[in-house]
């Protein structure tokens, strides 16, 4: 029961982050939501590894951590470049490629 | 008992995450993100993954959030900007929420309990090290290449023209 509840909460974390990415238009909030999205699978991997008594759950967590660090570094650099070049932090305002 | 603590911490993380994505102010959102990450770390400790918990506190709640805090200083935080964000959020949350519910409900309802369920077990750190330096060595190398690419990308995007 505990295991399935933890997996459900992991799914809920992922869904919460997905909602944030879709609903917020500010780039920084979308980055925060991406962090929350990555937290869902991390919890699922740790719970699975713990309940199966296997180290691979924590191994996948380390890889997720690397992914999150790379994503934040690039995302924040892109955000700062966006502020400098376009003067906005609204992802809806970035439709110049369309024209 | 540790299963109950893990559930409690995970629920706190979920509630904090919900607050983090719905606050209009970026600083409040960031603080709730820290709360969510620290609750997740508590959950990892309760599940016996103490290395993951420590790394969660150090790297996620420490390093990543510190970088966020530096960037938050560039954000327009006037009351007008806050009011605009609040107005935009109050109108535009229904469609994304519907889409997410449509995607997430089968995910939450789909899996059935397998019945057999031992309690959470502590995984020795030695096993994790043997895994990362043995069978998963190529995966670790790919991860390090990813970090290097992110470093060079951030350097390239951040330079002054």
Cβ contact, residue pair B17, A59, below 8 Å: no
Is A72 within 8 Å of chain B by CB?
yes
Distance CA B39, CA A41 (A): 15
The domain ranges of chain B are 1-87, 123-161
Q: Please indicate whether residue B46 or residue B118 has the higher confidence score (pLDDT).
A: B46
Within 10 A of B69 (CB to CB), how many other CB atoms are there?
Answer: 13
> Are B68 and A76 a contacting pair at CB < 8 A?
yes
Q: Is residue A92 part of a domain?
A: no
Rounded CA gap, B114 and B136, in Å? 29
| pLDDT surpassing 70 at residue B105 | yes
Burial letters B22-56, b for 16+ CB under 10 A, else e: bbbebeebbbbbbbbbbbbbbbbbbbbbbbbbebb
User: Structure pTM?
Assistant: 0.89
Element (H, E) at B27: helix B26-46
Contact criterion met (CB below 8 Å) for A30 and A91: yes
- SS3 assignment, position A62: helix
Confidence check: pLDDT of A12 > 60: yes
| pLDDT, mean over chain B | 85
Give residue-wise pLDDT tens across range A31-47: 999 999 999 999 999 99
| CB-closest option in A9, A39, A76 to B71 | A76
* pLDDT over 80 (residue A69): yes
pLDDT (0 to 100) of residue A61? 93
> Residue B101 and residue A62: Cα distance in Å, rounded?
29
CATH of the domain at A17: 1.10.287.3510
Which class would CATH give B1-87? Answer: mainly alpha
User: Is residue A5 less than 8 Å (CB to CB) from chain B?
Assistant: yes
Residue A35 forms part of a structural domain? yes
Query: Among A27-36, B1-10, B53-62, B114-123, whose mean pLDDT is lowest?
Result: B114-123
Asked if residue A97 is part of any domain, the answer here is: no
3-class SS of residue A90: strand
B71-100: pLDDT as tens digits:
888 777 777 778 777 877 777 777 888 888
Coil vs helix vs strand at A53: coil
pLDDT score, position B25: 84
Total domains in chain A come to: 1
Q: What is the mean pLDDT of residues A47-73?
A: 90
Least confident of A50-64, A85-99, B98-112: A85-99
pLDDT confidence of residue A72: 92
| Helix, strand, coil distribution of chain B in percent, nearest 5 | 80, 0, 20
Nearest to A2 among B7, B49, B67 (CB): B7
Owning domain of residue A69: 2-87
Distance from CA of A93 to the nearest CA of B (A): 14
Q: What local confidence, expressed as pLDDT, does residue A39 receive?
A: 93
Q: Pick from B2, B48, B52, B161 the residue to mutate for testing the A interface (most A CBs within 10 Å).
A: B52
- Collect all residues with Cβ–Cβ distance below 8 Å to A36 and sequence separation of at least 6: A13, A16, A17, A20, B17, B20, B21, B33, B36
Q: Is residue A99 part of a domain?
A: no
Residue B116 reports pLDDT greater than 60:
no
Q: What is the ipTM of this complex?
A: 0.90
Nearest in space to B104 (alpha carbons), one of A3, A37, A2, A67 = A37
End-to-end CA distance of chain A: 53
Q: What are the backbone angles phi and psi of residue A90, rounded to the nearest 5°?
A: -100, 120
Q: Are B120 and B5 in contact, with CB atoms under 8 Å apart?
A: no
Q: Kindly report which listed range (B24-38, B67-81, B126-140) carries the lowest average pLDDT score.
A: B67-81
Q: Report the candidate in B106, B104, B85 with the shortest Cα–Cα distance to residue B96.
A: B104
Neighbouring C-beta atoms of residue B143, cutoff 10 Å: 20
CB B73 within 8 A of CB A80: no
Counting residues of chain B whose pLDDT is more than 70, the rounded percentage is 92
Average confidence (pLDDT) over A62-76: 92
């Amino acid at each position: 029961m505990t295991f399935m509840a933890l997996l459900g909460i992991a799914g809920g974390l992922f869904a919460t982050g997905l909602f944030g990415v879709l609903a917020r238009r500010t780039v920084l909030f979308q980055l925060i939501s991406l962090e929350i999205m990555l937290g869902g699978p991390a919890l699922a991997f740790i719970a699975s590894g713990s309940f199966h008594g296997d180290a691979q759950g924590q191994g996948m967590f380390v890889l997720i951590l690397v992914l999150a660090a790379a994503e934040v570094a690039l995302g924040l650099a892109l955000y700062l470049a966006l502020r400098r070049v376009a003067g906005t932090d609204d992802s809806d305002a970035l439709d110049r490629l369309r024209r | 008992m540790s299963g109950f603590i893990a559930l409690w911490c995970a629920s706190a993380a979920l509630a904090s995450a919900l607050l983090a994505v719905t606050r209009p102010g970026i600083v409040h959102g960031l603080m709730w993100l820290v709360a969510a990450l620290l609750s997740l770390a508590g959950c990892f400790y309760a599940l016996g993954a103490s290395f993951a918990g420590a790394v969660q506190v150090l790297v996620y709640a420490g390093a990543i959030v510190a970088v966020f805090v530096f960037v938050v200083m560039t954000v327009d935080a006037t009351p007008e900007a806050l009011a605009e964000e609040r107005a935009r959020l109050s109108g535009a949350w229904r469609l994304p929420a519907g889409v997410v519910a449509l995607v997430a409900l089968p995910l939450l309802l789909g899996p059935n309990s397998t019945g057999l369920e031992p309690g959470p077990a502590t995984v020795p750190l030695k096993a994790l090290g043997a895994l990362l330096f043995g069978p998963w060595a190529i995966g670790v190398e790919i991860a390090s290449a990813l970090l290097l690419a992110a470093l060079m990308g951030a350097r390239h995007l951040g330079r002054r023209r």
